[in-house]
Amino acid sequence: MQELLARLTALDTSASMSLRVIACFDELVRGGVNVHALLSAGASMAGSVAGFHDERSGRSMRVGPDGVALPDDADASSIERVAHTDDGLTVWIEKSPPLGMNDAMVVERLALGIGLRLGRNPPDGRRGLSSALDPDVPPHVRQQLLVALGLRPNERHRIVCLPLFATWHRHGHMVEDVVNTPFGPIHVAVVPESVIAIEASPCGIGVPMSLDDLDRSFRTAMVCLRLSAPPDVPTVVADDYGGLVELLAASHTAGPLLDVDPLDAIMAHSWGAETLDALVKAGSVRQAARLADVHHSTMQTRIDEIQRTLPFDPMDGIGRTRIGIAYLVWRLQHSTVLVAPPTAEQR
């Protein structure tokens, strides 16, 4: 647990602290830690004693920021508390004003974690936004969950995906949470259809969808996030790739794929990445040369080498489609955008 707290604390200071709190408790709950460990995490983040009392069992516990259990017979009337009570379960941190800006979030997530540990979780045991983006949840249930979060059912929205260590220049109000994915916990936000840029990096912005199809926007936003490459490409918007982004989202791109593996030899050249990027965006050799900022004869020499390396001609007919898809899949397979940057101590 202490290792987890240290790892979260080491994230970029521009990252939302509330998301660190959410991510921490998500990791602890998924790890099946006991109530004492949950209280210890809450106390450490709040910098004060954390406690709980269960009316059903009569059980109580208080834990200090150092993780040491304390007597549970303290005079409650003499202690300032930030508390959360639900279904006979009271969870609190013992803190006098002024309160920290994330104290309420710590108590909320601590209460959720202890409630889950004691079997007080809702019937489906899942939170709203995470369930609303789960394709296995019926569409009408997903829509109900999103409406409960404050979204209008007759409007289309987009999903934005960011790593927990994303740098925010301005963090506006939006529906957001941490959602577990095959790539680890991801910061997920919901924005109106008209939004095609936010002041954060790196991020991926999905296709606009109705509420009952917002899981499709989520999948495309994840692809876009993995295609981003700050500082050169801090944001990728699904609209720029059209149906290709949904094709990539629906495909299994983790294993070996035809046309993709041969690109390794091209990418080994210092000019490989910029040349392929220019080729898939350009309509001619001269246009590709302009995009790569090289003489057209230099571009032609590079294309000749690419044609000798690949088992197909990337400049002819269906070959252009093949090289475009192969290049995008290669970028997904080699994406490092979800690898946290080194801390000051690690540099």
ω into 208 cis (within 30 of 0): no
Asked if the model's pLDDT at residue 13 lies above 60, the reply is: no
72 and 99 in a common domain:
yes
47 and 24 in a common domain:
yes
Separation between Cα atoms, residue 217 and residue 174, nearest integer Å: 16
Query: Is 339 domain-assigned?
Result: no
315 and 274 in a common domain:
yes
Task: Fill in the amino acid letter for 93.
Answer: I
Going from the C-alpha of 302 to that of each of 282, 284, 285, 287, 308, the distances in angstroms are 15, 14, 10, 14, 10
Q: For residue 97, what are the domain limits? A: 2-117
Residue 98 token pair: 């002024």
CB atoms within 10 A of CB 155: 11
Query: Is 48 domain-assigned?
Result: yes
108 and 172 in a common domain:
no
Per-residue HEC secondary structure of the chain comes to: CHHHHHHHHCCCCCCCHHHHHHHHHHHHHHCCCCHHHHHHHHHHHHCCEEEEEECCCCCEEEECCCCCEECCCCCHHHCCEEEEEECCEEEEEECCCCCCCCHHHHHHHHHHHHHHHCCCCCCCCCCHHHHHCCCCCCHHHHHHHHHHCCCCCCCCEEEEEECCCCEECCCCCCEEEEEEECCEEEEEEEEECCCCCCCEECEEECCCECHHHHHHHHHHHHHHHHHCECCCECEEEHHHCCHHHHHHHHCCCCCCCCCCCCHHHHHCCCCHHHHHHHHHHCCCHHHHHHHHCCCHHHHHHHHHHHHHHCCCCCCCCHHHHHHHHHHHHHHHHCCCCCCCCCCCCCC
Query: Is 105 domain-assigned?
Result: yes
Q: Encode pLDDT of 254-288 as tens digits.
A: 677 889 999 999 999 999 999 999 999 998 999 99
Q: Of 211 and 45, which is predicted with more confidence?
A: 211
243 and 159 in a common domain:
yes
133 and 111 in a common domain:
no
Lowest mean pLDDT among 69-83, 100-114, 321-335: 69-83
Q: Of 74 and 70, which is predicted with more confidence?
A: 70
133 and 240 in a common domain:
yes
Query: Is 223 domain-assigned?
Result: yes
Report how far apart the first and last C-alpha atoms of the chain are (Å, whole number). Answer: 24
Separation between Cα atoms, residue 283 and residue 279, nearest integer Å: 8
What domain count does the chain have? 3
Query: Is 124 domain-assigned?
Result: no
Residue ending a domain, choose from 97, 117, 137 = 117
Q: Encode pLDDT of 77-107 as tens digits.
A: 556 788 888 888 999 999 877 777 778 888 8
180 and 133 in a common domain:
yes
Residue ending a domain, choose from 198, 225, 250 = 250
76 and 47 in a common domain:
yes
User: Which sign, positive or negative, has the C-alpha torsion 16, 20, 21, 23?
Assistant: positive
Separation between Cα atoms, residue 265 and residue 263, nearest integer Å: 5
CB atoms within 10 A of CB 308: 8
Query: Is 148 domain-assigned?
Result: yes
Task: Fill in the amino acid letter for 60.
Answer: S
Separation between Cα atoms, residue 27 and residue 45, nearest integer Å: 14
- Considering the entire predicted model, what is its pTM? 0.71
User: Which sign, positive or negative, has the C-alpha torsion 253, 259, 264, 267?
Assistant: negative
Residue 254 token pair: 């983790």
Q: What is the distance of C-alpha 4 from the center of its chain?
A: 17
Query: Is 345 domain-assigned?
Result: no
Asked if the model's pLDDT at residue 200 lies above 60, the reply is: yes
Residue ending a domain, choose from 220, 250, 280 = 250
172 and 206 in a common domain:
yes
pLDDT of residue 168: 81
Asked if the model's pLDDT at residue 209 lies above 60, the reply is: yes
88 and 184 in a common domain:
no
pLDDT of residue 124: 40
pLDDT of residue 123: 40
Separation between Cα atoms, residue 48 and residue 106, nearest integer Å: 11
Per-residue pLDDT band for 1 (boundaries 50, 70, 90) equals: very low
92 and 153 in a common domain:
no
Query: Is 284 domain-assigned?
Result: yes
